[in-house]
A and B are shown apart, each in its own frame.
Chain A
Amino acid sequence: MVKFMKKMHGVMNASGNTARVSFLKEQAIKTVFFFTALFAVIVVLFILLFLLRDGYVIFEKVGVLTLLSGATWAPTAVEPLYGIFPLIVGTLLVTLGAMVFAVPLSIGCAIYISELASPRVKQVLKPAVELLAGIPSVVYGFFGLIVLTSFIRVTFDLPTGETWLAASVLLGIMALPTIISVSEDAISSVPHEYKEGSLAIGATRWQTISLVLVPAALSGIAAAIILGVGRAIGETMAVLMVAGNAAIIPEPFWNILSPLRTLTATLGIEMGEVSVGGDHYRALFGVAVVLLIITLIINLTAVAILRHLKEGRKRGITRKSLVSAYTQESFVRFAKFPGFLIALVFLFIVAPLWLAVLLLLAGVIWYFGRDRLSQKYIQAVAFTFVVAAAVIVLAILVIILQDIILNGLPALSWEFLTQPPKDLGRAGGIFPAIIGTLYLVMGAIAIALPLGVGAAIYLVEYTREGRITRLIRTGVDLLNGTPSIVFGLFGFAFIVLYLKIGVSMLAGQITLALMVLPTVIRTTEEALKNIPQSLREGSLALGATRWQTISRVVLPPAVPGIVTGAILSIGRAAGETAPIMFTAVVFSSRFLPDSVFQPVMALPYHLFILATNVPGASTNKYGTALVLLLLVIGFYAVAIIVRNHFQKKSRG
Chain B
Amino acid sequence: MSESAIITTNDVNLWYNGKRALDSVSMSIPKNKVTALIGPSGCGKSTLLRCFNRLNDLIDHVKITGEITLDDENIHALGTDVVMLRKKVGMVFQKPNPFPKSIYENVAYGPRVHGVKDKAELDKIVEQSLRHAAIWDEVKDRLNDSALGLSGGQQQRLCIARTLAVEPEVILMDEPCSALDPIATAKIENLIELLKQDYTVIIVTHNMQQAARVSDYTGFMYLGKLIECGKTVQIFEHPKEELTENYITGRFG
Contact = CB atoms under 8 A, between A and B. Distances in A.
Interface string B122-153: 00000000000000000000001111110000
B100 A196 contact: no
A216 interface: yes
B114 A202 contact: yes
Interface string B45-64: 00000000101001000000
B159 interface: yes
A325 B114 contact: no
A122 to B, nearest CB: 13
A211 to B, nearest CB: 7
A58 B202 CA distance: 76
Nearest to A118: B60
Interface string A322-350: 00111011000000000000000000000
Contacts, number: 102
Interface in B151-201: 159, 162-163, 166
Interface size class of A (residues with CB under 8 A): 20 to 34
B86 to A, nearest CB: 4
A211 B53 contact: no
B84 interface: yes
Contact of B113 (A193, A319, A320, A375): A375
Contact of B97 (A196, A319, A328): A196
A204 B113 CA distance: 8
Most-contacted residue by chain B among A198, A203, A325, A329 (CB, 10 A): A325
Interface stretch (B17-25, B101-109, B234-242): B101-109
A321 B159 CA distance: 19
A211 B86 contact: no
Interface stretch (B36-44, B71-79, B87-95, B217-225): B87-95
A200 B148 contact: no
B140 to A, nearest CB: 16
Given A193-B97, A201-B110, A325 B102 contact: yes
Contacts of A317: 95, 97, 148
Contact of B100 (A195, A199, A207, A215): A215
Contacts of A366: none
Chain A contact surface mostly: helix
B21 to A, nearest CB: 18
Contacts of A203: 83, 109-110, 113
B214 to A, nearest CB: 21
A616 interface: no
Contact of A320 (B58, B97, B99, B146): B146
A534 interface: no
B106 to A, nearest CB: 9
Contact of B93 (A197, A215, A325, A328): A197
Contacts of A320: 146, 148-149
A35 B93 CA distance: 51
A325 B147 contact: yes
A321 B97 contact: no
A320 B149 CA distance: 7
Given A203-B113, A211-B109, A212-B99, A318 B148 contact: yes
A204 B95 CA distance: 22
A201 B166 contact: yes
A317 B86 CA distance: 24
Contacts of A191: 97
B99 A197 contact: yes
B146 A199 contact: no
Contact of A202 (B102, B113, B145): B113
Interface in A175-204: 191, 193-204
B55 A202 contact: no
Given A201-B162, A203-B113, A375-B83, A325 B145 contact: yes
Contacts of B147: 325
A380 to B, nearest CB: 13
A216 B83 CA distance: 22
A79 interface: no
B99 A198 contact: yes
Contacts of B149: 320
B117 interface: yes
B109 A202 contact: no
A273 interface: no
Most-contacted residue by chain A among B84, B95, B101, B117 (CB, 10 A): B101
Given A196-B55, A196-B97, A202 B83 contact: yes
5 contacts: A196-B93, A199-B58, A200-B91, A202-B83, A321-B148
Lowest 10 CB-CB distances: which A-B pairs, in order? A202-B87, A193-B97, A325-B146, A200-B91, A202-B86, A203-B113, A325-B102, A201-B110, A197-B97, A326-B144
Interface of A: 191, 193-204, 207, 211-212, 215-216, 317-321, 324-326, 328-329, 371, 375
